[in-house]
Amino acid sequence: METLKNHTDIITRGWVGKMPQSIRPYLYLMRLDRPIGTWLLLLPAFWAVLLTGGMDAWSVMGLFSVGAIIMRGAGCVVNDIWDRNLDGQVERTEMRPIPNGDVTVKKALFFVLCLLCLGFLILVQFNILTIGIGAVSLIFVGAYPLMKRWTWWPQAFLGLTFNFGALMGWCAMTGELPWQAWALYASGFFWTLGYDTIYAMQDREDDALVGIKSTARLFTDRLSIDPRVPCFMFYLIHYALLMMVIFDGVIIDWVALCALIPFVHLMWQVKTLSMTDPQNALDRFKSNCHYGLMVCGVILFLS
């Protein structure tokens, strides 16, 4: 895996880097070279669909997969439009297509409109309540990039934004939003608080220079707290809520011990997180894809 420069996050080795120059910047805008964000958006929906079951589970998961690629891409374009001036001042983001001039703001706006239209075509395949939840989520997608300017807790707003899939997945399968769906949403919220605090550890110095706020900066710079402590607490609350939903109505026996495997992975993330190595933080952040798939495995095993 190579990046455009060692300090930037654009990956040039891979299928995106081989695309024609005319479309390549738009694929980079969607972060198609870095699918981890799509996975993190998608996995709570997978959990919800697998927990509710049903004959059409796999087709619903397929629709959510396409929708996640499109909507994560749209969210990234919106983020880059809002952050175009800030991104040029941060090493990791200065070579993104808008700040480096490959894509104009006008073209980016048209592109995000096209993505939203495609996302709408996916959304209307579901029931009316799921469509309504998806429409509400757009408000959060549009507002999220501003949070890092206004609050020390943008990771909390991302948690609210990134876990609508849990509600939509449950509703798509059952047409209802019982307490289990909301508990799963809350579980995803705390998961996001943990992994995105880890992600923000990469940019603490640059963020301080340009005035970007984050929980990573809040814990380390303002409160002088080891961020591994709140990350542990976030993950613990996340997992307790997740297990409450998974084991609802399930007879607990020795087989349930398999549910501890994903939790061990979360603890590994916290235990081995470096305070000074950005690559270490990025690797722990990316490993949440593996964690989320482990949870899918546990749900399938116990079902």
pLDDT tens for 135-175 read: 999 999 999 999 999 999 999 999 999 999 999 999 999 99
Let me know if residue 9 belongs to a domain.
Answer: no
As for how many domains the chain has, the answer is 1
What are the pLDDT digits (tens) for 247-274? 987 666 776 788 899 999 999 999 999 9
Let me know if residue 169 belongs to a domain.
Answer: yes
What tokens appear for 75 in the block? 């969210």
**Domain span holding position 145:** 16-302
Let me know if residue 10 belongs to a domain.
Answer: no
Q: Give pLDDT, residue 11.
A: 72
Let me know if residue 1 belongs to a domain.
Answer: no
Strand partners, 11: 3
If you average pLDDT over residues 294-300, what whole number do you get?
A: 95
What are the pLDDT digits (tens) for 112-128? 999 999 999 999 999 99
pLDDT class for 187, splitting at 50, 70, 90? very high
- Domain with residue 110: its CATH number is 1.10.357.140
Q: How far apart are CA 268 and CA 284, in angstroms?
A: 9
Let me know if residue 167 belongs to a domain.
Answer: yes
Q: How far apart are CA 191 and CA 185, in angstroms?
A: 10
Q: How far apart are CA 299 and CA 134, in angstroms?
A: 25
Let me know if residue 63 belongs to a domain.
Answer: yes
If you average pLDDT over residues 171-186, what whole number do you get?
A: 98
pLDDT class for 9, splitting at 50, 70, 90? low
Let me know if residue 3 belongs to a domain.
Answer: no
Let me know if residue 220 belongs to a domain.
Answer: yes
Q: How far apart are CA 155 and CA 14, in angstroms?
A: 29
Q: Which residues contact 128 (CB under 8 A, 6 or more apart)?
A: none
Given a cut of 70, whether residue 83 has pLDDT beyond it is yes
What tokens appear for 77 in the block? 């374009």
